[in-house]
Amino acid sequence: MRFGGPDQRSGNIEDRRGFRGGGPGMRLGLGGVVILVILSLIFKRDFLSLAAGGGGAAPGADQEAPVTDAAEEPMVIFVGKVLDDAQAQWAKILPQLGTEYHDAKLVLFRDAVQSACGYAETASGPFYCPGDEKVFIDLGFYQELKDRFGAPGDAAQAYVLAHEIGHHVQKLLGTEEKVRQMQQQRPDLQNDLSVRMELQADCYAGVWAGTAQQRGIMEAGDFEEALGAAASVGDDRLQRMSTGRVNPESFTHGSSAQRQQWFERGFKNSDPRACDTFGKQ
C-alpha cells in the first residue's frame, strides 16, 4: 500500500506498550479475588472491577520505561496511516447515511490490556470495545498473522485494522446496540447475530479498501493480500487448525468463504448500504 504524507505517528494512537499487564491496576491473588467477590455481593458494588483499574487509579501507576522500540516504529507509523485514512473516509461517508462520524482511538499494547470491555490478553487478538470506542492491538499479532495464519503483506495488516474500525462504524450507526439487545432477547440466535455483525465489519473494511483503490493507495496484489487475510481468520479454518474438526453451529465470525465474500462485496461497491448482512446471506 502506498500512503502519502509525512512519516509520523497518528494523533489517535494511545501507546500502552510500556504498561505491565496492559495498564494500571492491582495485582490480586486467588484469595484477594474471592474476598472482593464476596464484598461485591454484600455491598452490591463491583469491587473486582475497581481493583482491576476501573475505579480511577492514576494512569501510569504501573508503567515501565517509555517505549522506544525502533524495530516496531515503522509498523506504528503504518497502522497510524491506515487508521487516519480509514477514519477520514468514514467521516465523508457516514453523513450521507444521516450519522456524523467521530474518531476512535487505537491502543497499542503488549501481552495484556484493560479496556472498558474488560481484561484481554494478546491471544484474544485485536478487538474493538464499544464502551470506550477504542481499537486494541498487540503489534505482535501481525507477525502471527503472517507466520501462523499464512497472511503476509501490508494490505493484510490494513484489513485487520479496517475490520475493527468497521465495528466502530456499527457503534455509531446504532447497529451494535440493537444486536446486543437482540442477543439478550434471543440467546438461541446469539452466534448467528455475532456472525452477521462480523461479516458486516468485513464488508465495511472492504468499503474502505474500495475507496483506497480508487485513490491509488492500493497497489498490485493488495486486494489479494486483504482477501487472503479475511480467509485466514474464518471460523472453519481456525477450528480445523485447532481441533481438526469444523462445527458451523459454533461459528461467531463466519467461514473463510463468507468473510471473503462480504469483504469483496464492500470493495466492489464502496458503499456501506451494500453491507446488509442482516437481510441476506
Residue spans of the domains in the chain: they are 25-54, 67-274
Instruction: Locate 82 and state its grid cell.
Output: 491506515
What pLDDT sits at residue 45? Answer: 54
Can you tell me the mean pLDDT for 22-26? 43
Q: What residue ranges in 123-277 does DSSP mark as E strands?
A: 127-129, 134-137
Helix axes 256-269, 190-214, angle to 10 degrees: 40
| Confidence at 19, pLDDT banded by 50, 70, 90 | confident
The one-letter code for the residue type at 194 is S
Residue pair 56/33 in contact (Cβ under 8 Å)? The answer is no
pLDDT over 70 for what percent of the chain?
82
What count of other Cβ atoms lies within 10 Å of the Cβ of residue 15? 15
The pTM of the full predicted model, rounded to 2 decimals, is 0.83
**CA triplet 278, 157, 262: central angle to 5 degrees?**
20
| Confidence at 231, pLDDT banded by 50, 70, 90 | very high
Measured distance between the N- and C-terminal CA atoms of the chain, rounded to whole angstroms: 30
Can you tell me the mean pLDDT for 201-226? 97
| Confidence at 22, pLDDT banded by 50, 70, 90 | very low
What pLDDT sits at residue 43? Answer: 55
Q: Give the residue with greater pLDDT, 156 vs 34.
A: 156
pLDDT over 90 for what percent of the chain?
73
Instruction: Locate 158 and state its grid cell.
Output: 490494513
Q: Report the SS3 class of residue 131.
A: coil
What pLDDT sits at residue 73? Answer: 93
Least confident of 14-18, 61-65, 189-193, 200-204: 61-65
pLDDT at 29 over 50: no
Per DSSP, what are the bridge partners of residue 105? Answer: 134
Can you tell me the mean pLDDT for 11-36? 63
What pLDDT sits at residue 44? Answer: 52
